[in-house]
Amino acid sequence: MRALLLLCCTTVFSFTPHNALSQNTRIKVDSDKIITVDEVFDLITQQTDYAFIYHEDLFNNFPKIQLKKGIIRIDKLLRENLIDNHFNIVVMENNNILIKEKSYNIIQQQVTGKVKNKDGLSLAGVTVFIKGTNKGTVTNFDGEYTISVPNPENVLVFTSLGYKTQEISVNDQSVVNVTMEEDVSELAEVIVTGYQKLEVNKSTSSVSNVDGATIERKGNSNVLQSLEGQVSGLAFIADPNNEGRKRFNIRGVSSIQGDSQPLIVVDGFPLVGDISTINPYEIESVTVLKDAAAASIYGARSANGVIVITTKKGKAGKTTVSYNTMTTITDKPDLRYRLNRVSSSDLVDIQLARVIDDPHTYEYFYNNNPDDPTLRLYSIPANRVYATLADLNEGRISEQEATTIVNNLRNIDNTQQLEDHFLRSSTEHQHNLSVSGGGDKHSYRTSLNYTKNKGMWVGDKSDRIILDILNSFKINDRLTLQLIGNTTLFQDSSTPLIDGSRNLVLGGISSYQNIVDAQGNPLPVNIGFAGNRLNYGGKNQFQIQQLMDKGLFDETFYPLNELGKRKIDNKSIALRIQTRLQAMITKSLSGNLDFQYELGGGKNSDFSSADSWNVLSTINNTAPEDYDGNPDDLRLPIGAHLVETRSNRNSYTLRGQLDFNDNFGDHEVSAIVGSEIRHIFTSSTTTDTYGYDGSSLVIKPVDKKELSQSISNVIHPAGEIRNGILFEDRFGETMDRFFSLYGNLTYGLLNKYILSGSIRVDQSNLFGTDPKYRYKPFWSTGIKWRLGEEDFFKNDLVSKFDISASYGINGNISNRFGPFNIATPHFYLGVDNLRITTPAVKDLRWERTATQNFRVDIGMLNSRVNLSAEYYIKETTDLLADRIADSTLGFPFLSANVADISNKGFDLSLNTTNIQSVNFSWSTFITFRHNKNNVTNAFNRQDQVRLLAGIRNLEGAPANTYWMFNWNGLDEFGNGTVIDSNGDIKVANADNLFDFLNPQDLIPAGTADPVYTGALTNTFRYNGFTLSFMFVGSGGHVLQKDSYNGEYLERRDEGFDSPFAASVNADAANAWQQPGDEEFTDIPSYGISDSSYYNAVIAGNSTKNIIEADFIRLREVILTYSLPTKFLNNVFDQMTINLRGNNLYQWVKNDEGIDPEAHGLGARFFKIEPSFSLGLNINF
């Protein structure tokens, strides 16, 4: 609100001026901008209580003011940078600021000149004004200016953002050329820890800030994704266990049992719900707390670092509306890359070679049981070569026909058909509308975000709505109240084919089985194992005919018809309500009372329709063997199958805190002390329903008691359903409570020497009863020396030189162990009972992470180069891990404080402004992290796991190391060989299988986590255009590639993850065939028996498949264009068009072209495809 009054000189001085602007009054500048003085006043008025009184025309000819993004003290802004020398400023008790022009004479003299920087480059946009006046101008694109000077005594003042202000006396010169020197920013950046706000200059700890504009510009619907490349020390690491998932960690892995994800804090409260409840357009800033000094204030969960998110707040002033929209399209995934399987022709050859010794009859498989009757039905249906030979042997076709059929199979490749019908480009639409405004007593901000996704799998979609409402009330001079509400509605649905992991599309249907004919009509295919143990996969056509003859259902499987019959839906609602009451008790002491309540509800349903293959096959299989067509005899009713989970969650946090901030001469003290309680409750109910009718809501009864025990006399090919049907009905509930006390003190002397300390004690309802653990605090301490502020140091090159060091302890204790026995309830054969699942471990200690941090912040060349470098040593000791224990004392495994992990490394961030002028600028931002991680003491190597190979945390290697067998090539029979711990060569064949089961033979083959990670962002601005490129890269880590390892190919389709007969890895084409091949191939011969499985495990988990995972990716290119104001016709304040491309280019070190950011453990994931976005932002 602009308070613009006509000046009345005579009455002004009748007010009692104290003429002191509070030093603590600061305003925030959103972004670098050049605005008029009037607008500066507006800005101050909006954010403070001050109003300005001055003559309407007073600043009409005054040069525009350059403001740099950040926080600035208004006394400084007004007095030093603006108008102090030319105007009288009077601050009156009612917070009105009176501005009055000083008088001067006017004698004109023309002065021209050129302004350059130290490198001789012309500087455009430098403000030139006559000292003591409001008169001035701005240099043009060539750095030239012209100004009329009233008299020779006048002094010209040259100011430009990022440069030191210069004053030059005109004297009689008509040409005044100036070389500007760069300056570090005077604007104080603040960090928000969630508990308090501190100026970066006063913080001794390791933090990184990312502003909301950067996050908004990136346009990711998930806030965390936008932090990539912005924060040194924070790495995003592809998770080989979860496709599409990234683990992100700050400064490496420091946990064995838990995850290493940082704690996320939103507006001061730890987030219990999902990060997706945060509207990415409503972020004010994100602060990442990396060391113990910063994070220990969060106590028990902070050892992995803390990400503090601050959302935007309402601002007093005119109502502003902002609208954003963005559409993102991601390329269709590459199924051929993902499947990486042999050609149909090779598959036919492989299958022909493998069935040579068999009698080739259906009967052979139906009646002859390879040691477990439940495997009886495998693979005849999927292996069409075998089926054709069986047809031939059983006399249904001629040899001629058989040859034709088999040869036809060679020419079919269904990959494209599968890709066309099941996959697509994914799209995301985002809309965001926010309104803010308010007056003296009340300000508000409301935003609505809608995000709609169509996933890459046909049928997958999700919607999200986030509504944020924020109201801030100034009750009186001392009391302010904030009410914040967040509501998130989320739903997604997917239509997997039979099973959730889409295994049928991902290799479960052999490449030679088309899913549509030439006319596009759905075709049936033969499948192997699919679904669950109740339906045991595809039956052959004779079995299906038998079923139908009995009056049961047709199980012929048409993939396209099946699509959509199974549907998984998730719906959730999350509410978050915060109230924050702040009271200024004295000038320097304030009290805060904060309360947050979170409520979440969800419904997850897994629905298979009555005519889905899943349901029909299950009903068929559970039918009595002598079924005669009477539906009453069916054990499961006809109808849909629905498993539905409803869950809810509520939590609250109540916090009281006292803040103290004051100066005593050269001493500055800021302190907080507080206490909080937290309560988290979750519950869920799952129901499992057969015979469900969605329209009438009728549920037919099912005898769950009978069916949950072994069922004999069934049609199921195994002859029985062992252990019955696993009904998923269950209840779940958890309740955790926490109580904490904390304090934090920062002391500054002369603004050069800063000392800080923090302490926190956590307790919970599960942390045990022993006071020894209960009152053990986390603490930290830090010091900082602002060397750059010392008189002896001050120089023109380096304007800022801060050195800081910190040390602190964070920790964690599992709330699932303690110095007490924990038992779990069971109900078994009619009797309630308890079993001790976790014994009392009496010497259990906190997991302890001690972090040392050393940091240097250097600003050079007028802040055009900012470097921040940190070195840290993070020692985590007493980590809880399972260790082998003496079973004589009761338990063969115990969780105990046995493991240590150390992380050492450095984080670098470098920000340079390479070119800076009014119309054009080029800046570069680099983040880099190097993390050396080592498990120094862990888990007994003599693990009970027979086959230990895989990603493990074992002593003597970094965390998440691939522990692999040491590959030594093939022997003359095509068997894989490895070198054992004694240096002996061991052959991986069935006969000496058990010689391999020694954990000592495994060697560390590299870690899955990158040793170094970096990002390089270049940003160019030209007038309204901004173009930025961000490259990210990681290196020093490895991945386990997919390959053919000698798996058994003959009969089974045992799980689609294994390249059995239905789909065989492309490497099989290079498999060993005859003696001599071992000279040039590493691919073992085709597996010939069940036990080949073990050979394949050994070859697969050997160094043969370990390759380097280094990569560089052009993560994003963003081009934005802000329309010039003149085009906006005053309708809009601002309009920005945003074009974005993600993942446009990548370089990978490995020769196979495997995408290291999308690879599993010996299996391919869909590689990351490029995506393109178009967005628009309008403010009015």
Partner 1 sequence: MKIKSTLTVLLAALLSMLNTSCDDYLDVDPKGLTVLETIQDYDLLLNGTWRSMFYTTDTDILELTSDNHTSTELDLRPIDDPLNDAAKAYKFDSDIFLSHDENVRLWDAAYGNIYTYNTVINNVGSSKIVSGYSEEDKESIIAEARVGRAFEYWLLVNTFGKQYNEATTSTDLGVPLILEDNVSGSVPARSTVKEIYDFIISENLEALPNLPNRPKNYTREYTGSAYAYLARYYLFMSNFEKAFEFADKAIDVKGEISDFTTVPVTTSDYFALEDHHFSDQYTFMSSQGTPNWFYRYGILSEEMTNLLSSSDTRFSLLYSDCAWQYDDQTGWNYNCGLPPTRIGATLGSVTITPTVPEMYLTRAECNARLSSGTIGEVINDLNSVRENRIYDYTPLSVADFTSKAEALAFVLDERRRETLYMGTRFFDLRRLNLEPEFAKTIVHELDGTTYTLAPNSDNWAFPIPASTLNFNPHLEQNPRE
**Residues in region 880-939 near partner 1 by CB under 8 A:** 884-892, 894
- Of 412-420, 520-528, 826-834, 1142-1150, which segment contacts partner 1 by CB under 8 A? 826-834
> 648-677: which residues touch partner 1 (CB under 8 A)?
654, 656, 658, 675-677
CB 894, min distance to partner 1, A: 6
Q: Which is nearer to partner 1, 792 or 994 (CB)?
A: 994
According to CB under 8 A, which one of 737, 845, 883, 932 is a site residue for partner 1? Answer: 737
CB of residue 677 to partner 1, shortest distance in Å: 6
Tokens standing for 1037? 């880590």
Using rule CB under 8 A, residue 1089 touches partner 1? no
* Residue placing its CB nearer to partner 1 in the complex, 418 or 714: 714
User: Given strand 87-91, what is the order of strands in its sheet?
Assistant: 51-53, 96-101, 87-91
Strands 283-289 and 207-211: antiparallel
Q: Strands (DSSP E) along 585-729, which ranges?
A: 589-608, 640-664, 667-692, 711-712, 720-721
Residue 573 or 885: the one with the smaller Cβ distance to partner 1 is 885
- The nearer residue to partner 1, 252 or 818, going by C-beta atoms, is 818
Residue 399 or residue 733: which is nearer to partner 1 going by CB?
733
Per CB under 8 A, the list member of 19, 169, 944, 981 interacting with partner 1 is: 944
Which run of H or of E encompasses 622? Answer: helix 613-622
Nearer to partner 1, 107 or 475 (CB): 475
From 169-177, 829-837, 1038-1046, 1068-1076, give the range in contact with partner 1 by CB under 8 A.
829-837
Stretch that binds partner 1, among 690-698, 759-767, 1024-1032, 1165-1173 (CB under 8 A): 759-767
Region at 219 (left for phi over 0; alpha for psi -120 to 50; beta for the rest): left
Could you give the angle at which helices 344-355 and 399-410 cross, rounded to 10 degrees?
140
CB closer to partner 1, 112 vs 734:
734
Largest pairwise CA distance in the chain = 119
Please report whether residue 593 would count as binding partner 1 according to CB under 8 A.
yes
Binding mask 554-583 for partner 1 (x = CB under 8 A): -----------------------------x
Work out how close the CB of 837 gets to partner 1 at its nearest, in angstroms, rounded to a whole number: 8
DSSP structural state of residue 373:
G
List all residues 6 or more positions away from 975 whose beta carbon is below 8 Å from its beta carbon: 987, 988, 989, 1046, 1084, 1085, 1095
Residue with Cβ nearer partner 1 (5 or 945): 945
Query: How far apart are CB 675 and partner 1 at their closest, in Å?
Result: 4
Site residues (CB under 8 A) for partner 1, limited to 985-1004: 993-994, 997
Beta carbon of residue 529, minimum distance to partner 1 (angstroms, whole number): 19
Q: Could you tell me how many residues of this chain bind partner 1 (CB under 8 A)? A: 78
Closer residue to partner 1 (CB): 599 or 787 = 599
Report the site for partner 1 in 306-365 (rule: CB under 8 A).
Answer: 364
Q: Exactly one of 103, 108, 519, 586 binds partner 1 (CB under 8 A); which one?
A: 586
**719 touching partner 1, by CB under 8 A:** no
Closest to partner 1 by CB, 667 vs 826, is: 826
Nearer to partner 1, 658 or 1137 (CB): 658
**Minimum separation from the CB atom of position 895 to partner 1 (A):** 10
**Helix, strand, or coil (residue 942):** coil
Q: Which positions from 138 to 157 touch partner 1 by CB under 8 A, shown as an x/- string? A: --------------------
DSSP 1091: T
Interaction of residue 763 with partner 1, rule CB under 8 A: yes
Distance of CA 101 to the CA centre of its chain: 55
- Find the binder of partner 1 among 152, 439, 564, 732 (CB under 8 A): 732
Q: Which is nearer to partner 1, 128 or 841 (CB)?
A: 841
Tokens of 910: 């470098």
User: What distance lies between CA 805 and its chain's CA centroid?
Assistant: 29
Instruction: Give the count of alpha carbons within 13 A of 149, CB side only.
Output: 27
Least distance from partner 1 to the Cβ atom of residue 825, Å: 6
Identify the three-state secondary structure at position 77.
helix
Q: Is 748 exposed, middle or buried (0-12, 13-18, 19+ CB in 10 A)?
A: buried
From candidates 148, 169, 398, 824, binder to partner 1 by CB under 8 A? 824
Rule CB under 8 A: is residue 734 a binding residue for partner 1? Answer: yes
Q: Which of 23, 31, 148, 765 binds partner 1 (CB under 8 A)?
A: 765
Shortest Å, Cβ 388 to partner 1: 21
How far is it, in rounded angstroms, from Cα 497 to Cα 558?
10
Residue span 831-860 as binding mask against partner 1, x where in contact by CB under 8 A, dash where not: xxxxxxx-xxxxx-----------------
- The residues in 5-24 that bind partner 1, with binding defined as CB under 8 A, are none
Tokens coding 492: 């997604």
Span of 17-25, 114-122, 490-498, 818-826 interacting with partner 1 by CB under 8 A: 818-826
- Contacts of residue 609, defined as CB under 8 A and 6 or more positions apart, other chains included, come to 565, 566, 567, 615, 640
| Minimum gap (Å) between residue 716 Cβ and partner 1 | 13
- Of the pair 664, 828, the CB lying nearest partner 1 is at 828
Least distance (Å) between residue 764 CB and partner 1: 7
Give the 3-state secondary structure of residue 297.
helix
Please give the full DSSP string across 519-560, using - where no structure is assigned. TS-B--B---S-S-TTT-SPPPHHHHHHHHHTT-----B-HH
Q: Residue 341 corresponds to which tokens in the numbers above?
A: 């399987």
φ, ψ of residue 413 in degrees (nearest 5)? -140, 110
- State in angstroms the smallest separation of the CB of 880 from partner 1: 14
Q: Which member of 718, 822, 1066, 1139 binds partner 1 (CB under 8 A)?
A: 822
Q: How far apart are the first and last CA of the chain?
A: 16
Pair type for strands 51-53 and 96-101? parallel
Indicate the residue among 369 and 404 with the shorter CB distance to partner 1.
369
- CA distance readout (Å), 565 to 499, 641, 644, 853, 952: 11, 11, 16, 56, 40
Query: For residues 456-485, which are near partner 1 according to CB under 8 A?
Result: 476, 478-479
Binds partner 1 (CB under 8 A): choice among 395, 520, 771, 825:
825
Instruction: Name the one range near partner 1 by CB under 8 A: 133-141, 210-218, 820-828, 1053-1061.
Output: 820-828
Given candidates 8, 726, 735, 985, which one binds partner 1 under the rule CB under 8 A? 735
Place of tokens 């004295």: 586
Nearer to partner 1, 586 or 630 (CB): 586
3 state SS for 1062-1092: CCCEHHHHHCCCCCCHHHCCCCCCCECCCCH
**What's the gap between Cα 549 and its chain centre?**
54
535 Cα distance to chain centroid: 37
Q: Which helix (H) or strand (E) holds 707?
A: helix 704-707
Q: Which of 3, 8, 121, 585 binds partner 1 (CB under 8 A)?
A: 585
The sign of the dihedral angle between the CA atoms of 348, 351, 354, 359 is negative
How far lies 1067's CA from each of 257, 342, 345, 636, in Å? 36, 7, 14, 44
DSSP 1069: G
* Residue 251 near residue 233, CB atoms below 8 Å: yes
Positions in 695-714 near partner 1 (CB under 8 A): 710, 712
DSSP 11: H
Closest CB to partner 1 among 843 and 1079?
A: 843
Quote the CA–CA distance of 351 and 51 in Å, as a whole number.
86
Residue 793 CB, nearest distance to partner 1 (Å)? 43
> Which residue type, as a one-letter code, is found at position 594?
D
